[in-house]
Amino acid sequence: MTRTVSLLAAVLALGAFAPPAAAQAFKVGYVDTDQIVIRMPAFADVQTQLQQQQQAVGQRVRFVQDSLGQELQTKVADYETFAQSAVATDDARRERQVELAQLQGSIERAEAEGLQYLSYVEARLLQPVLTQVDEAITAEAEAQNFDLVLPTVANNAPVFLYRSPRVEDLTVAVMERLGVDPESEPLTRQQQAQPTTPGAVDGQQVPGGQAPGGR
């Protein structure tokens, strides 16, 4: 959806080497795409679907962690009894500790894999929205004869160190082209789906390791 920052360097180069008349004719604008997206009804629909997916994934993660957590607690208790027995060699203890650590790792991976899946779902649901915005930016830029339109942010970093008043803001024009009311209230971060899944198991200390779910 966004254009690369290297385009901005190209603009500066054109301004430095082109004749004054040509430099003035080069028309540049910018768009705050985030402010557009969070006001789109389609974005609200995406957040609703994502919240539903989070609930479903959270339930699956809790089920896996509950099952593995119970198994882990049983094996930890068995290990503690075994470790105090006369037949418990150092090698045998280490072997069981490895088994417990692997089980703990499975519990932690369940949550990590849930988050990874939710990130994939979010990207897939957002892609049509972002494509729609990108197409509207292109159409508006062509309608107003812009040579270049830049985003305000790229890779979570601001694009502009300085912006002349001659660089026009197309954000509202793109909103209107999309049928989005610029005065409408955007979805707040609290209203948006947050990429988290609940961890169900904690507090059980693994011999030679950390508590499940601990970091």
Q: What's the mean pLDDT in 165-194? A: 85
pTM for the model stands at: 0.67
Structure tokens at 66: 């509950």
Q: 191 Cβ partners below 8 Å, 6+ apart? A: 47
pLDDT, position 18: 47
- Judge whether 162 and 79 are in contact, CB under 8 Å: no
- Judge whether 65 and 34 are in contact, CB under 8 Å: no
Q: Is the pLDDT of residue 166 over 50?
A: yes
For the chain, the structural domain boundaries read 6-178
Distances (CA, A) of 16 to 22, 33, 51, 92, 161: 11, 28, 50, 74, 17
Q: Is the pLDDT of residue 103 over 50?
A: yes
